[in-house]
Structure 1
Amino acid sequence: MRPSGYRALPGIDRRSDWGRRDAEAIEALGGLAEQKAGLGFWKLYDRLRQARHDWNHKRL
């Protein structure tokens, strides 16, 4: 069920919008995960932050 205040915007597919918006973050995390397969999420996140990416952990 949707919350009572929810109103879908016409012409916007919310399910596919995040994929386009976050494509850069997804690619960066995926590439780093392939290079550093033994590291967990938080260490990969710290590496991305050190590389000057200012993405929030919830976005990744």
Structure 2
Amino acid sequence: MALNRAWHESHPMPPNANLDQRIAWHLEHARECGCRAIPASVLKALEERRIPIPERRVS
């Protein structure tokens, strides 16, 4: 998967992001870029919160 450079430049991960911020960022990243998989720690939090795990975007 190619990097969506424009998205990454306009959507940096907040410094010292808490878990809620990380979850929100990775969910949006999966929709808009998906150049890499969601980290295991975020996947675990999504499962615990019963938030559907998005498929990685394929372009």
Find the structure with the greater CA-based Rg.
Answer: 1
Indicate whether the TM-score tops 0.5.
no
Question: TM-score, length-normalised on structure 2?
Answer: 0.31
Question: TM-score, length-normalised on structure 1?
Answer: 0.30
